[in-house]
Structures are given as structure tokens and as C-alpha cells.
Amino acid sequence: MDTRRVLRTTGTVIAAAGLLLSGCTSGGSGGPPAAASSSAAGAAPSAEPTAVPAALRPYYEQKLSWRDCGVPGFQCATMKAPLDYAHPESGQDVDIAVARRKATGPGTRLGSLVVNPGGPGGSGIGYLQAYAGIGYPAPVRAQYDMVSFDPRGVDRSSPVECLTGPAMDTYTQVDQTPDDAAERARLVAAFKDFAAGCQSRSKRVLPHVSTVDAARDMDILRAVLGDEKLTYVGASYGTFLGAMYADLFPGRVGRLVLDGAMDPSRPALELNRDQTAGFETAFRSFAKDCVKQPDCPLGKGTPEAVADRLKEFFRKVDARPVPSGDSARPLGESLATTGVIAALYDETAWPQLREALAGAMNGDGSGLLALADSYYEREPDGRYANLMYANAAVNCLDQPPAFKGPEAVDAALPSFEKASPVFGAGLAWASLNCAYWPVKATGTAHPLTAKGAPPIVVVGTLRDPATPYKWAQALAGQLDSGVLLTYDGDGHTAYGRGSDCIDTAINTYLLEGKPPQNGKKCS
């Protein structure tokens, strides 16, 4: 399991929404600002330029040719962006897939609302067509063209590819809590093979899929959509992308909502450890609820007792995997852990998790395997979406690795296990993946301030498993115009998850431009 990513669930839709790891006031036409070189994410952006270099002008002035997507109500187009912003004159491009659902009316059209589900690696187009374009509040869809795109390296946009389906099946089963030298060697070899596969299959794009690159692409998108400023809702990792855009182009910021926020100032090690603690918090919420249910497979008692029983279950399937209905993929500890974590993103999945755990404890691992497959976006025919490949490619470029080798993991294990007695060891070892990446990181952790931008709404959920609440507090504090909106609830992200208070505050901001009071709290 790759820890440096977050997942968002909305009803029966499961889409990537996060991470881990892991726009100056201008009243002009939607024309292009000059783009600086594709500098490291850690470098402070220069003052926002007002003119565009000749090499970039064709990108900003291109016209999108919209066509039917094959999904009723949606249109699709392909946007060109330079492969390397440092050398846009090279003539090498990436194709950026874009989709929209036009404003349904009535009311005045307010422009485009760009949405991003996170990941990194989540398909914005898949998210738009399956949820945002039809499930966002009707008044918002009435006045905005709902728009999304697959960021570079993702799905339809010059995708990163790494492994075949069978090879990915093998990779997801590698033991990530190694008990001896041989298991450690197999885990390191798996990370190396994964990285080598990405280099072999995706060498051209790997150096150019950073969040800085995606944010620059988003400014081209804003311009070609004809919008003077960007209106945007980003979930989880999408908050990092949105904050990066605001920091690069503060004067191009319109109404930005950053839901399930990341803290861009924290290095990879701290982000992974924080997220580990977040999953422990979410598991304790699940455990408190589970013991009240008649079908709780983990028994009764305190959350600590429930955690001990889950750890014992993981130990058993580590030693002896249980049948899953797929003879090539019995349910071992790695897949079982991934299945549990997948269900912790959304409290509505808790009944499914109880049923899946009960089945696995009685020799049927199919339920937990199905949850793990949803996390990895594995199709029934064995094909994988490129989510996990793009996820690693972006994360490993955005920051230096959390660990440089197994010895560093050993040193950090106590702190990870303190953060989560249940998941700590596995998530610590999973954080080793970027150590063997074939492309050196171009970014570093640093605060994003977006100095001069209008109010930006940052949303945090108190018991969010994947983006801990303190990250939202930190990002709202870093942003020059950050406004913190808090949801006292469980699950990952808050908008559209059942809180009328949250939804009303965000809808009012998107439709009327009135942000909530800083510090507003909803339940």
C-alpha cells in the first residue's frame, strides 16, 4: 500500500482525493500572464508577470475544440501544454484532457468552476462525470460550467505507466511489515522494480509531472476557458494544487475552496507520520461505533482492545493468507490492511468494513480484497488505472523522499508506531517508496502564502483520516487571505457529505462571493 495518497468516497463513487504521499489583481481578459521557468516547488515564486513570452503565447491563445464525450451532458476537449515550462520553445507538448458540463440555468452564468478530486493521480474527468458534474448542489451547477481535467501524467493526459496488471498484483501483495532480512530485501526490491518500470515506460514525462507544472497548466486552462480568474474546488491533494496555483498567480484567484487541506510546509516524513496518526484517529472512531453494533467482528470493549484484535488478525493473515476468491491473490496482511484503510475514508463504509472483516475472520477474504481493489482502482479483468503510478510520480517529484533507506525507516519506526499502534509499521515502510525514484525531486516543503489573493476558504474535518485537521489550520494560517471553515465530523473532506452548514457556507461563497467567517465551525 502506498501511504502517500488519499481517497475520497462519495456514495458508491470512489475517486482519488488527496495525497500524500502526498493566481494579482487583474481585471484583464482571460489572457495569459508570463510563466516563469519550471522551477522547483520549493523556490519562492517571483512577482506575477503581466506579459507572456512568445513561446508560451500559442498555448494560452489556443482554442478548445469541444466534442461529445460519450457521456450524456458532457463535452470533452484536448488542451496542449509545454512538456517543460523551462523550455516551451522546444515544441514538445503534453496533451491535457478536459471535460465540462455547461451551466444548466436558470440564473446568471458565473463562469467555469474547475474541480479536482485529489490523489495525486485521481482522474478529474472521471470525478466530474461520475459525481461533481451531476452531484454538486443544483444552484452551483445552474450558474457554473462544471469543468475538470486529468492533470499531466494522469489517465487521459500523457499518463505515467509503470507495471503490467499481473506485476501490479504482485506489487500490492508484498509484505510491508518485514519481519526479517529476507522480507526487507523483497520489499526494497519491489520498490526498485516499481521505479524501474516507471522509468522504462514513462521516461519522457517523469521529470515534468510536478504540482508546479500542473498549476501552470491550470492557468492555461483558465485562459482558454475565457475566465479572467480561476474559480476552483480542490479536495485533499487538490488543496495543494489549488494553493500552489494561488501562490504562483495570486491575482488570478477568484473563489477558491480547499477542502481536506494539506500543509505544504511539512516535509514528506512529517506528512506521512501525520497521516498515520490520522488513520489511527479514524480507526478509533470506527472502533467506538463497532462495539455498539451487534455484528462487530472485533468484539466489545475499549478502542484499544478492538485495535489489539485487529492487529492479531493482521498477524494471522501475514502468517497464513486466507482465500479471497482469486487464487492468485489470497488475502495477506498487505491487502487486508489496504482494505481496512480504504473503508476508513468515509464513515458510510463502516458497515461494509464490519462485514468484510467478519468474512475474512471466517476464511473469506473477498470483502476486504474488494475494498483494497477499490483503493488501487483495479478492474475485475485485472487492469489497473494509472492512479498509483501517477501518485508516486508526482509525490516523488514534489519533495525529497521521506527515507533514504531501510535504516532510516528503522530509526523512525517507534514514532510511527506511537502515532498508530495498528498501522504505524506498515505505513512507515510504505514511505520508503520514493527512495529509489529515478528522477530527483524538484520541490521542497515550504509555506504557500498567495500574498495579495482574495479570500480563500480552507476546510478541515476534525477526524479526517487522510488530511489531519491541523493541516487545514496550518494552511489557512499560511495563506495571506486564508479563511478556516471547520467540520466537526468523521471521514475525509466535508463539502457534499451531509452537513447543511458546510454546504451552505461554501455555496454562498461560490455563488455570492461571501466567504464564511474565519473560524466558523459546523457539525
For the question of residue 227 being annotated catalytic, the response is no
Give Cβ neighbours of residue 444 (< 8 Å, ≥ 6 apart). 40, 41, 42, 267, 399, 400
- Which is the catalytic residue, given 236, 324, 334, 481? 236
List 157, 169, 202, 492, catalytic entry: 492
The H or E element containing residue 75 is strand 75-82
The alpha carbon dihedral of 125, 130, 133, 136 has a sign of: negative
Q: What share of the chain is helix, strand, coil (3-state, %, to 5)?
A: 45, 15, 40
> Is 464 designated active site?
yes
431 is catalytic: no
**Contact (CB, 8 A) for 41 and 245:** no
Cell triple for 504? 451552505
Q: Which of 175, 227, 464, 490 is catalytic?
A: 464
Task: Say which residues have a Cβ less than 8 Å from residue 298's Cβ, sequence separation at least 6.
Answer: 287, 290, 291, 306, 309, 310, 357
Listed in sequence order, the residues at least 6 apart from 381 whose beta carbon sits closer than 8 Å to its beta carbon are none
The full 3-state SS of 327-356, as one line of letters, equals CCCCECHHHHHHHHHHHCCCHHHHHHHHHH
Three-class HEC string of 128-164: HHHHHHHHCCHHHHHHEEEEEECCCCCCCCCCCCCCC
Give every CB contact of residue 20 below 8 A, 6+ residues apart in sequence: 3, 4, 5, 6, 237, 262, 271, 272, 275, 395, 466
Q: Tell me, rounded to whole angstroms, the distance of Cα 281 from its chain centroid.
A: 19
- Which residues does the annotation mark as catalytic? 236, 464, 492
